[in-house]
Amino acid sequence: MNTVPTRTTPVDVDDLRTRVTRMYRDVALHPERDYHFETGRALAERLGYAADELDAIPAASIDSFAGVGYHLDLADLATGECVLDLGSGSGMDSLLAARHVGSAGSVVGIDMTDEQLDKSRRLAAEAGLAQVEFRRGYVEDPPVPDASIDVVISNGVVNLSADKGAVFAHVVRVLRPGGRLALSDIVTERALPESVTCNAGLWAACIGGAMQSDAYQEAIERAGLEIDVVRRNDGYRFLSDQAVNATTTWGVMSISLLARRPG
Ligand SMILES: C[S@@+](CC[C@H](N)C(=O)[O-])C[C@H]1O[C@@H](n2cnc3c(N)ncnc32)[C@H](O)[C@@H]1O
């Protein structure tokens, strides 16, 4: 596997994972609380999710939605396809994907936060979607066989990883030739200074780990994917003053992207 170095890691990886896990445990258990970022149905609809699509899955999966964009249109899922959702959270995108691929297809959601996994598994059972399963794991080394996936999706997660090169290398490893990557993520117009990238709290808030947009796309291409579409999600915004200040100063923004593993 071709591992692509994207940046030296300025934060302690264990500390980062502990903080990220703590934050998204809270999002799973207490979606009504205030965070640096927005959560829930109003956000999902503003980003482009159709109301009738959301009405078809359990409301609790939407309450704790913490994604940053809409890319299921880019993913263009077909009946029978196999989907991997990196950082599946409470499962909203996985459940929607499961409805698109139907009982002939399959969806595997990967997450490292037990409370998110418990919630997503409970909601998938409630929705009667037997074609979706959730596995505990890291997006830097997803427990999925080589060349077994048609489409990798991910929403608001890669920015949280201290090793984005490993994430993209594994995307290429698990995709079948011709397979697609459709994701939404936080990137920046200008490279962030160390005062921000060394702040594990700002990483957990989806800001400190954001890569400069061109470097992010280069990392995807160096891993072996061809990018077809990149679009900016102007409907996404941060909430806390600290996060909003970072957004203005460094051009922190949400993008959605479609890329392909050459066939
Ligand atoms: C911003 S939330 C997004 C969740 C979901 N995709 C959504 O749209 O609601 C990030 C999720 O990624 C998970 N996560 C973050 N870093 C991870 C890593 N390195 N490996 C596995 N899961 C990770 C967190 O536990 C959390 O559930």
Q: 140 with 161: CB under 8 angstroms?
A: yes
Q: Is the CB of 67 under 6 A from ligand 1?
A: yes
| Pocket residue to mutate for ligand 1, from 11, 14, 22, 24, most atoms within 8 A of Cβ | 24
Looking at residue 9, what is its pLDDT?
A: 58
Partners of residue 75 on adjacent β-strands = none
Q: 83 with 60: CB under 8 angstroms?
A: no
The domain ranges of the chain are 13-260
pLDDT in tens, 21-61: 999 999 999 999 988 889 999 999 999 999 999 999 999 99
Name which CATH class applies to 13-260: alpha beta
Phi, psi of 228 (to 5 degrees): -100, -40
Pairwise CA distance, residues 123 & 115, whole Å: 12
Segment of 8-17, 119-128, 194-203 carrying the highest mean pLDDT? 119-128
Q: With a threshold of 0.85, does the pTM exceed it?
A: yes
Residues 180-202, mean pLDDT to the nearest whole number: 85
CA of residue 161 to ligand 1 center, whole Å: 9
Pairwise CA distance, residues 237 & 247, whole Å: 9
Q: 86 with 173: CB under 8 angstroms?
A: no
Looking at residue 240, what is its pLDDT?
A: 74
pLDDT in tens, 148-180: 999 999 999 999 999 999 999 999 999 999 999
In this structure, what token pair is assigned to residue 31? 């979606």
* Ligand 1, atom 4, residue with closest C-alpha: 89
Percent of the chain with pLDDT over 70: 95
CA of residue 241 to ligand 1 center, whole Å: 23
